[in-house]
Amino acid sequence: MPKISEKNKKILKQIYNVFLVLIGTFIVAFGASVFLLPFGIVSGGLSGFSLIISEFIPLDVDIIVMIFTWGLYIVGLIFLGRKFSLKTLISSIFYPLFVSLILRSGMGEYLVRLIINTGVEINTSSSVLELTNLEALEAGRMIICGLIGGAFTGLGCGITFIGGGSTGGFDILAFILNKYTGLKTSVSAFIFDGLVVIGGLILNAAKLSSIGFIAGLIGIFAAVLCAMMIEFIYDRQSGAYFADIITEKSDEIKEKIINDLDRSVTIYHVTGGYSNEEKICVRIIFSRDELLKVKDIVAEIDKDAFLTIGECQTVNGEGFTPLHSSKDNNITKLKKLGKKINKNDKQ
């Protein structure tokens, strides 16, 4: 069987990443358009924000989603660079299209009819999927919609992040915070979702809308579940561990790790605090899916080794995410270009 060249491997990897971004984007759009938007559940994100904005401007919610998706895409292009924005471009194009497709076609309407109970009606005069008389909806059905919608959006975001892109909404702001502050994407996404949910609660409280306020409270649980899904799908996938191995068989462990895991190691000469004996410590940085392999290697070679394993917050460098300066962004480049132009004009 012929081997795949490195060039073809990279092409296949890019195709796979694009596929993940598309699948993740559709899942987010599906969760929002079927389980959240028709029921007025403000669970955060761009969909919840668009629900709030639709109360103040005479535009359908999917059109608002499209406007803000492209606006945030431009922000991402400035702060995160062209490489990230190329993958985000896919979501920025398809997410609003998926939302419109589900809200304006029979796909979303059919599923919503299976969810609602007697007394709740679909507004046939609206160009998008919209429910009337939501006060008649059973609380249990509303809670189920909120939880399922939050799970779907979190799952879709996580898959999209693994593909190297984003869903094109507030995820871009989460990535910007991660780049400049190191704040985990799940935490920053939860902060943005929380602000949107609070905004929805305040709006419905001001309108004296009982069902809207209840939907906002359900949105809190949906936002929490969304963040938990992102944490489980993406942050666990992208996490890394370090292991310190104090052993008398450092050479054997080093060779095994290099050959079997294709990871390098760092050798330390340490002194035992109790015995005052000189010992050797082998440190390795590895991904989550290699955790059991590392433990098995150490146990196989030296069962008397002292093994300590911890979780790394951030790992950059060869074999992991490339290291970039927080100053390396398009705004800085534009400033430098402007200074260079001014300097040339003076000359």
Given a contact cutoff of 8 angstroms between Cβ atoms, the answer to whether 326 and 182 are in contact is no
Given a contact cutoff of 8 angstroms between Cβ atoms, the answer to whether 55 and 64 are in contact is no
Give every strand in the sheet of 306-312, ordered side by side.
Answer: 266-271, 278-287, 240-247, 306-312
**Res 336: pLDDT:** 58
**Res 341: pLDDT:** 57
Compute φ and ψ for 207, nearest 5 degrees: -80, -5
- The pTM of the whole model exceeds 0.75: no
Each residue's pLDDT expressed in tens, for the chain with a length of 347 residues: 456 666 777 788 788 888 888 999 999 999 999 999 999 898 888 888 998 998 898 899 999 999 999 888 888 888 877 766 676 788 888 999 999 999 988 788 888 988 888 888 888 778 888 888 888 888 889 999 999 999 998 899 888 878 877 677 787 888 788 878 877 776 787 788 788 889 888 888 887 778 888 888 898 888 888 878 887 787 665 567 889 999 888 899 999 988 888 888 889 888 888 888 888 999 998 877 688 888 889 999 998 889 998 877 666 666 555 655 555 554 455 455 555 655 665 55
Cα separation, 64 vs 57, in Å, equals: 9
**Res 6: pLDDT:** 67
Return the bridge partners of 286, or none. Answer: 241
**Res 345: pLDDT:** 57
Residue 131, by phi and psi: left (phi above 0), alpha (psi -120 to 50) or beta?
A: beta
**Res 331: pLDDT:** 46
**Res 186: pLDDT:** 66
Cα separation, 222 vs 251, in Å, equals: 51
> Domains in the chain, start-ordered, CATH in brackets?
13-238 (no CATH), 240-312 (3.30.70.120)
**Res 27: pLDDT:** 94
